[in-house]
Amino acid sequence: MKRCFYLFNYVLLILCFSCNSTEKYRPVVNNGYLDLSGWDFDKDGMINLNGTWEFYWNNLYTPHDFEKDTLGFKPDFLNVPGVWNSKNLPGNGFGTYRLKIKLNHDYDILGIKLLDFSSSYNLWINHELVATNGKISSVLSEVKPQMHPQIKIFKVDSNKMEIVVQVANSFHHKGGMWESIRIGTQEQIVSASGKNLILAMFFAGTVFILFIYHLWIYLLRRNEKAALWFGILCFIVLIRTLQINERITYYFFPDFDLGIGYRIEYITMFCLIPLSFVLYFFYLYYSN
């Protein structure tokens, strides 16, 4: 047994030390600029536009404003994904993000994956309005929040890209681009998004089957309180999964009320899941 134990540890160490990453270095955004001159989407795959973007607080600029180059002040820089609260700014407000990208060559068509920001936005790529979510306004009472995951296909007629994003928030206590933006070829974006959605729905389906199975056990044997509470726990996890993973609820119902959605997220995470787990644990080990 000792020899088997040492042999197992030896093999495990070999496997750990042999797992050196050979993945190509992924460039990151630095002060509003991303150099992808050494990155080929066809060979290297998709990439997240993470890093420090240009940021203009309390201004809703369009690509034409930057083209004129008449902005009277220098931009601030914010991490994406992140929230502007990190700059001691209030959650409610509006601002403009900007990113310039250098590509390795011209691409006819690229794709972009947008999950959600807080809590409405307009997004331009090379002067073309590619995606909108909710309603943007400099008057906070007129801002309409929305959460709608999107996949957009756009044309690129040069080796340079400019992304401008207006973000406005009057709903959540945190504001800004708090999710990563992913770009790649059309096939890569559509395929990856489809796989993620299938995995999320597979997990949701598995949890739903567990819920039905344990509920059925309880209906047949009413003294199996542990089965009841485990089934309830699975149902709560199912509801939260539909809200969080790939935003499945909003994917199929873009106009789903955000107030209800966020309440479901917080109540399930901080109240219902711990409570149901404690009751399941109690009836499993301490109840006669």
Judge contact between 54 and 98, C-beta under 8 A.
yes
What is the spatial distance between Cα 215 and Cα 228, in angstroms, rounded to a whole number? Answer: 6
Rounded average pLDDT over 227-252: 94
pLDDT at 122 over 90: yes
Please give the pLDDT value at position 286: 86
Handedness of CA 23, 110, 143, 267 (dihedral sign): negative
**Nearest C-alpha neighbor of 77 from the set 56, 50, 92, 94:** 56
Lowest mean pLDDT segment, chosen from 10-19, 61-70, 77-86, 117-126: 10-19
In terms of DSSP bridges, do strands 109-114 and 150-155 run parallel, antiparallel, or are they unpaired? antiparallel
Per-residue pLDDT at 2: 40
The CA-CA-CA angle for residues 55, 38, 24, to 5°, reads 95
Model pLDDT, residue 105:
86
Unique residue bearing structure tokens 């917080």 = 266
Question: Which of 204, 133, 191 is closest to 165 using CA atoms?
Answer: 133
Mean pLDDT of the 193-199 span? 94
DSSP 270: I
Mean pLDDT of 211-218: 96
Instruction: Please state the separation of Cα 162 from the chain's center in Å.
Output: 21
Query: What single letter denotes the amino acid at residue 84?
Result: W
